[in-house]
Chain A
Amino acid sequence: MDSRLTQFDELAGADGRIRAPYRKLSRWLAETPPELLASRREQAELLFRRIGITFAVYGAQEATERLIPFDILPRILARSEWATLEKGLIQRVAALNAFLADIYGAGEILKAGVVPADLVYRNPAYCPEMAGRRVPYDIFVHIAGVDIVRTDDQGFFVLEDNARTPSGVSYMLENREVMMRLFPELFALHRVAPIENYPDELLATLRSVAPPHANGDPTIVLMTPGQYNSAFYEHSFLADKLGVELVEGRDLFVRDDVVYMRTTEGPRRVDVIYRRIDDDFLDPLCFRPDSALGVAGLMGAYHAGNVTLANAVGAGAADDKAMYTYMPDIIKFYLGEAPLLQNVPTFRCREDEALAYVLDHLEELVVKEVNGSGGYGMLVGPHASKAQIEEFQAKLKAHPQNFIAQPTLALSTCPIALASGVAPRHVDLRPFVLQGANGARVVPGGLTRVAMTEKSLVVNSSQGGGTKDTWVIDDAWVDEEAMGQA
């Protein structure tokens, strides 16, 4: 528990000695005049303002030209660290998929009493329409964005499994492009694992789960809610990189359980839909009848096996905060393995003992609503006022099953470059895991989100958080360097 309370800096380490992956960067920083850093920061700003203009104009607020802050110092992981993380991520996603196939199928885990049935069946993200349906290759989660934090150099914690429509991968790719233009010399110093193949890997993943009738040459589309969605830039960016059409619901129609898109050359059959639109809006005949974003009859085509949706409908039943607490048991149940990535210790307020503890320790805990997201319905004990704590006490007593609580984590810090010099800031990491019929893959790295203000733990871009490029570098180079130092 103690290690979580003392802050861990990924550059300086626990003992104040520069950690191996950062040695070269650290030396480079020492040798680099501050003016050069300043000028690179300016260049980055310029580059991003150019790309950034397109980032911001797609935002919901037309009037605000908001850039997501970018920090020019890379966050560095050694390949050995990454290897652990990668294995753990793949394990995690395998378990999520096994769990989903089970709860929509035989329900073994419920019968075994490992996960309480009501937690599944009453979960708003559980989709009754999927019960008893098989999805191609039993894969529900094709793309996961698993949020990872660390508090020491021992291991990684999973903060959240995003199994629905995780976003942010476009920032990961753009950040790398900008870094390669700005710091060719730093790339020459390190051997940074490439990530530019992500779109190809994603395409391969999507192709692998196409229905058999596509005969290995499926028509794939990316479905967006439209240009007013805050992630529209990413949708359009990815469609472009994948070389697939970016469609809205009104571009598609269903006839006799087959999905077509309207093209200038007539209807064209669609086999795989990488959808970036929530379950509720997919099909007005099945879900929200007022949804103008979806396609009438889509679920019929889906159930008939004529189209594959990625991620599958109902995948959200696996990633809510209440289910999260069972992930270690879920991994053991399906894979017979110990979890490689730890869960943040979590109190399930639905359990009396846990609730009593939580009510007694509200000022040191983070309380989250089970179905909330993006910091909504959340109490951060150490920063909360008396009134807020009392309000949550009442809420917890009234509906304990709606809440979980976790100790406040001292997220690790990484150096960022400010006008005033280099300073540590808290970070998290969202790697993107792809699961296809042909296996699982994770491009090395992910999106590092960073809290730009001192001491802040909030990395969400909606609340002023920024991003960094994330490097996975060869250990051989790290070791060499370490010996050279000695």
Chain B
Amino acid sequence: MLSRTADNLYWLARYMERADFLARAIQASRRLAALPKAYGGDETEWESVLLSSGAALAFESCGRPVNEANVIAFLTFAPENPGSIRNCLEHARSNARAVRTALTIEMWESINDAYLEMRALESRDGVPCAEELARFLEVIKLTSLTYDGGAYRTMLRNDAYWFSRVGLFIERADNTARLLDVKYHVLLPQKEVVGGSLDYFQWSAILRAVSAHTAYHWVYRTSMKPWLVADLLILRPEMPRSLISCYESIVRNLDSLARAHGRQGASQRHARGVYGKLEKLTMESVFQGGLHEFVQGFIAENNRLGALISEQYLF
């Protein structure tokens, strides 16, 4: 396969995943910010979203005050934010268009429909109203589901599929890790407070941002505890957004590539290394070494994998 095609597919998947994560993060934060102060409702929530979506610096340079309306506008439709949902979608579509024949019609249509919907919304005068915004975030989530499902159900299992899967899981691991990093202080184990904690709604917002709110209860069958939230997002293999689950998938897809090409490389070795470490890890050791430090280390390893893949396959 052409390296550029692989590159496009890889980034296409990353942009789609990022758009989906942003949509979910915005929805979760709106919920949290709408709570009374006594329940953890807090304007600083919007700063966290900026941080976890990696848009804090860009936002700062635009010089607007941090509040719900500004942050949401920045994360959704702002053309000046390179990581806004609209730009993710635009990049995704541009990548898709360049490799149109490597995609199935279902995948192309899901991206193109969302894009056309976005363009329709943008071409109208004025800022989208709350209802339109809510609808748009739903469309993004649905698009990511349709796209993903389209890929899973209709793509040939060859390079094209593996590269796009690898992109998706690297992006997903990155998103989960950044969410953990921004919220690490509320996830540290503490003495159990009778009658719950002020942070309860923070934990629940984190889970909602990765659509794991229900999953938590199925996995632990207990009330919300911060270290279990961290455990779920880092070490539970059955949780599709956990770091370990992402790496299990990355390793599997990179191995498929290696088998097809008859050649292993640095990216396979690195991914297996990261996966192996996660497998041996316990939450105790994570907390001992510091959750923040662990997450920072992970983000660096994950970025390194991205660089190695690009070196090995994408020139």
Residue numbers of A with Cβ under 8 A of B are 53-54, 57-58, 63, 65, 226-227, 236, 239-240, 245-248, 250-251, 261-265
Contact = CB atoms under 8 A, between A and B. Distances in A.
B4 A251 contact: yes
Contact of B4 (A57, A239, A250): A250
Of B108, B313, B315, most buried by chain A (CB within 10 Å of CB) is B315
B100 interface: yes
B3 A58 contact: no
Nearest to A62: B119
Given A58-B97, A264-B314, 10 more contacts: A53-B112, A54-B108, A246-B2, A247-B4, A263-B2, A264-B3, A264-B6, A264-B313, A265-B1, A265-B261
Nearest to B257: A264
B108 A246 contact: no
Given A53-B112, A227-B94, A264-B314, A236 B2 contact: no
Contacts of B198: none
A63 B115 CA distance: 11
Given A54-B108, A262-B3, A265-B263, A236 B314 contact: no
B159 interface: yes
A262 B313 CA distance: 9
A319 to B, nearest CB: 30
A436 B263 CA distance: 38
Interface string B1-32: 11111100000000000000000000000000
B112 A261 contact: no
Interface in B259-315: 261, 263, 313-315
A240 B315 CA distance: 24
Interface of B: 1-6, 94, 97-98, 100-101, 108, 112, 116, 119, 123, 159, 163, 257, 261, 263, 313-315
Nearest to B5: A245
B97 A57 contact: yes
A264 B1 contact: yes
A250 B123 CA distance: 34
Contacts of B97: 57-58, 227
Contacts of A58: 97
Nearest to B93: A57
Given A53-B112, A57-B112, A227-B94, A263 B101 contact: no
Contacts of A250: 4
Contact of B101 (A246, A247, A251, A264): A246
A295 to B, nearest CB: 14
A264 B100 contact: no
Contacts of A53: 112
B87 to A, nearest CB: 14
Contacts of B5: 245
B112 A262 contact: no
Contacts of B2: 245-247, 251, 261-264
B179 to A, nearest CB: 31
Contacts of B313: 264
A54 B314 CA distance: 27
A239 B313 CA distance: 22
A246 B315 CA distance: 18
Contacts of B119: 63
Given A54-B100, A236-B101, A240-B101, A263 B108 contact: no
A248 B4 contact: yes
Contacts of B101: 236, 239-240, 246
Contacts of A63: 119, 123
Of A63, A227, A240, A248, most buried by chain B (CB within 10 Å of CB) is A227
Contacts of B159: 264
A71 B264 CA distance: 54
B112 A264 contact: no
Contacts of A57: 97, 112
A245 B94 CA distance: 18
B234 to A, nearest CB: 31
A251 B112 contact: no
12 contacts: A54-B100, A54-B108, A63-B119, A239-B101, A247-B2, A251-B3, A251-B4, A262-B2, A262-B4, A262-B315, A264-B257, A264-B261
A261 B163 CA distance: 19
B108 to A, nearest CB: 7
Nearest to B94: A227
Nearest to B98: A227
Contacts of A265: 1, 261, 263
